[in-house]
């Protein structure tokens, strides 16, 4: 299925192409002139057409974060990529390309309409996350296995499906099979499914459908359990305590403990290790419980902060909107008066008064912004201080419990040392009541060898404890530093800069509306 223009030099999605497309497809007339003169922010674009551009590779679309509709049909695209950031896409057209595999769309979770008509696709796959899908066009591709239709059973909102033109459509049972396995679909290959045909198709495949339904229920239960497990792990990770509610740390301590493993066969070691494990897991559980509780307290503080910020912004916005609304009424009145003035001096005076009024409203809006900046600065300072105190408390609590873990390991080390030295003495007297392995025999040579082996084991254990403690502390400090930086630089500084630009642009627009008169009417 090659394209007529495959021999043409491929195009690249660059800034020039995107600027041209957004300007051509953007606002028209006066609104379009204003938008073009001030530049169109890609982040504000909702719809974008890049069809018939001979595009080979999807690229440079990451700025279109609010895009809901994207046309990339009739190009020479071979692979779906570069769409990861377009998480608000609802409608995507990739028809008439050279795509061989469905991929690269897992982040498009809001997608409702997906068109992949007339490509080179051989498998229906990699769409698991598209739970909102309602319309799917896979016609004129190279899908030959009719069983692949079963993959679409996960899309319970699917209403319209086009599969016409694939090799499997030549099978006599094609339509009945699709309608039976996708019984909730209303339209197949552009034709409404009649209820009589739907019922007959379901009846024909009833036994197979019942078996598949049971299997799907079992898989759904397993998937739900996995999802709950994954969600819990993610929550634990966000609280920096993942794996501390089980024996992960204990296993990690012994995974690299070469010398310690050699001592297990000595009488008394197994019991001591078991007791050590139980006590260590109890301390790890304390870290876990403490971390979950403190993380919730910290998140409550963060959420309260953002609520205060949004409340202050909204109050400021309401005051600004009221001022602007009053001014627009004044502007409309002045415009009407200027249209009726015949005296040039009066006309000029009226325009001058209007411009003075524009300056006044500009000063008011900037004053509101300065007040907001001061208000937010105080809120941010309080939040910064509170957050540092809470994180400091969290770290102190974690350090206290990990200190107990080290004390426990020291005690454990002493007990294992006692056992080993007793066995060394028995070995020297040939009084051992168990058979020595070669590894253990090489340790029970003399006291120095025993001490060195156990010291090595002890150091491995302490290192693992220290690493886990350091990991928790460094991660929460990094999170705090990143959040504060984002609030100061990305949120507040950029917000203030953008707000000042908006105010100045609005005032320029108000001035231009009167300046467009140029001179008094009739002069």
SS3 of 494-515: HHHHHHHHHHHHHHHHHHHHHH
Q: What is the pLDDT of residue 347?
A: 85
Q: Calculate the alpha carbon distances from 191 to 161, 175, 186, 379 in Å.
A: 10, 11, 8, 60
Instruction: Determine the Cα–Cα distance for residues 156 and 119; give it in Å rounded to an integer.
Output: 25
Residue found under tokens 């999170």: 479
Instruction: Determine the Cα–Cα distance for residues 295 and 153; give it in Å rounded to an integer.
Output: 40
Q: Running DSSP on this structure, what letter comes out for residue 161?
A: E
SS3 at position 10:
coil
**Are the C-beta atoms of residues 232 and 263 closer than 8 Å to each other?**
no
SS3 at position 372:
helix
Contacts of 184 (CB under 8 A, 6+ apart): 156, 158, 159
Q: What is the pLDDT of residue 302?
A: 95
Q: What is the pLDDT of residue 36?
A: 44
- Residue 107 has a CB neighbour count (10 Å cut-off) of 14
Instruction: Determine the Cα–Cα distance for residues 323 and 21; give it in Å rounded to an integer.
Output: 36
Q: What is the pLDDT of residue 459?
A: 94
Instruction: Determine the Cα–Cα distance for residues 284 and 251; give it in Å rounded to an integer.
Output: 13
**Are the C-beta atoms of residues 65 and 86 closer than 8 Å to each other?**
yes
Q: What is the pLDDT of residue 33?
A: 41
Q: How many C-alpha atoms does 384 have within 13 Å on its Cβ side?
A: 13
Q: 162: which strand partners? A: 137
Instruction: Determine the Cα–Cα distance for residues 470 and 458; give it in Å rounded to an integer.
Output: 18
- Residue 415 has a CB neighbour count (10 Å cut-off) of 15
Q: What is the pLDDT of residues 476-486, one digit of tens each?
A: 999 999 999 88
Contacts of 240 (CB under 8 A, 6+ apart): 291, 295, 471, 472, 475, 476
SS3 of 243-298: CCCCCHHHHHHHHCCHHHHCCCCCCCHHHHHHHHHHHHHHHHHHHHHHHHHHHHHH
Residue found under tokens 């198709």: 201
- Residue 231 has a CB neighbour count (10 Å cut-off) of 10
Instruction: Determine the Cα–Cα distance for residues 163 and 385; give it in Å rounded to an integer.
Output: 60
The token pair that represents 45 in the structure block: 């674009």
Instruction: Determine the Cα–Cα distance for residues 192 and 188; give it in Å rounded to an integer.
Output: 6
Q: What is the pLDDT of residues 245-276, one digit of tens each?
A: 999 999 999 898 888 888 877 888 889 999 99
Element (H, E) at 226: helix 206-238
**Are the C-beta atoms of residues 23 and 45 closer than 8 Å to each other?**
no
Backbone angles phi, psi at 463, to 5 degrees: -65, -40
Query: Can you say how many angstroms the Cα of residue 62 is from the centroid of all Cα atoms in its chain?
Result: 14
Contacts of 218 (CB under 8 A, 6+ apart): none
The token pair that represents 460 in the structure block: 């491995």
The token pair that represents 108 in the structure block: 């498009």
- Torsion from C-alpha of 193, 197, 203, 204, nearest 10 degrees: -100
Q: Calculate the alpha carbon distances from 337 to 212, 328, 346, 521 in Å.
A: 76, 14, 10, 11
Q: What is the pLDDT of residue 490?
A: 66
**pLDDT per residue as tens, the chain (523 positions):** 444 444 557 888 888 888 888 888 754 433 344 344 444 678 889 999 999 999 999 998 988 989 999 999 999 999 999 999 999 999 999 999 999 999 999 999 999 999 999 999 999 999 999 999 999 999 999 999 999 999 999 999 999 999 999 999 999 999 999 999 999 999 999 999 999 999 999 999 999 999 999 999 999 999 999 999 999 999 999 999 999 999 999 999 989 888 888 887 788 888 999 999 999 999 999 999 999 999 999 999 999 999 999 999 899 889 988 988 888 888 888 888 888 887 888 888 888 888 898 889 889 999 988 998 889 889 999 999 999 999 999 999 999 999 999 999 999 999 999 998 988 888 888 877 777 788 888 888 889 998 998 999 999 999 999 999 999 999 999 999 999 988 887 667 777 788 888 888 888 888 887 776 555 555 4
The token pair that represents 321 in the structure block: 């909107």
Please, what are the domains in the chain? 11-204 (3.80.10.10), 248-515 (no CATH)
Q: Running DSSP on this structure, what letter comes out for residue 221?
A: H
Read off the pTM. Answer: 0.69
């Amino acid at each position: 299925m090659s394209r007529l223009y495959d021999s043409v030099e491929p195009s690249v999605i660059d800034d020039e192409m995107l600027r041209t497309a957004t300007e051509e497809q953007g606002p028209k007339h006066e609104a379009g002139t204003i938008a073009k003169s001030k530049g169109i922010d890609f982040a504000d674009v909702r719809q974008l057409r890049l069809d018939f551009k001979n595009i080979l590779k999807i690229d440079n679309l990451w700025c279109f974060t609010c895009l809901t509709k994207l046309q990339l049909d009739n190009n020479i695209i071979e692979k779906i990529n570069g769409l990861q950031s377009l998480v608000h896409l609802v409608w995507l057209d990739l028809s008439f390309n050279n795509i061989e595999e469905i991929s690269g769309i897992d982040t498009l979770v809001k997608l409702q309409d997906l068109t992949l008509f007339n490509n080179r696709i051989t498998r229906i796959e990699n769409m698991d996350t598209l739970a909102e899908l309602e319309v799917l066009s896979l016609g004129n591709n190279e899908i030959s296995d009719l069983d692949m239709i079963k993959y679409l059973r996960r899309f319970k909102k699917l209403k319209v499906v086009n599969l016409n033109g694939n090799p499997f459509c030549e099978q006599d049972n094609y339509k009945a099979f699709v309608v039976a396995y996708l019984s909730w679909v209303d339209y197949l290959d552009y034709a409404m499914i009649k209820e009589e045909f739907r019922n007959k198709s379901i009846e024909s495949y009833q036994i197979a459908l019942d078996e598949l339904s049971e299997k799907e229920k079992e898989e759904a239960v397993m998937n739900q359990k996995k999802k709950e497990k994954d969600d819990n792990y993610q929550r634990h990770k966000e609280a920096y305590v993942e794996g501390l509610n089980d024996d992960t740390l204990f296993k990690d301590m012994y995974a690299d403990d070469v010398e310690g493993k050699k001592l297990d066969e000595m009488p008394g070691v197994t019991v001591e290790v078991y007791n050590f494990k139980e006590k260590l897991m109890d301390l790890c559980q304390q870290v876990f419980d403490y971390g979950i509780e403190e993380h919730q307290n910290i998140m409550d503080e963060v959420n309260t902060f953002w609520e205060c910020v949004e409340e202050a912004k909204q109050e400021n916005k309401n005051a600004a909107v009221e001022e602007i609304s009053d001014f627009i009424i004044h502007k409309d009145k002045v415009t009407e008066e200027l249209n009726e003035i015949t005296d040039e001096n009066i006309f000029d005076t009226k325009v001058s008064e209007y411009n003075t009024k524009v300056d006044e409203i500009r000063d008011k809006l900037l004053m509101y912004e300065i007040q907001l900046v001061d208000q937010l600065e105080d809120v941010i300072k309080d939040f910064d201080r509170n957050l540092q105190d809470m994180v400091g408390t969290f770290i102190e609590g974690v350090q206290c419990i990990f200190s107990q873990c080290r004390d426990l390991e020291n005690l454990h080390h002493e007990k294992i040392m006692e056992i080993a030295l007793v066995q060394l003495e028995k070995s020297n007297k040939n009084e051992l009541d168990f058979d020595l392995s070669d590894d253990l025999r090489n340790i029970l040579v003399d006291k120095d060898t025993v001490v060195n082996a156990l010291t090595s084991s002890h150091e491995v254990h302490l290192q693992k404890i220290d690493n886990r403690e350091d990991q928790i502390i460094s991660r929460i400090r990094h999170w705090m530093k990143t959040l504060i930086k984002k609030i100061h630089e990305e949120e507040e500084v950029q917000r203030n800069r953008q707000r000042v630009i908006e105010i100045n642009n609005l005032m320029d627009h108000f001035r231009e509306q009167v300046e467009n008169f140029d001179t008094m009417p009739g002069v």
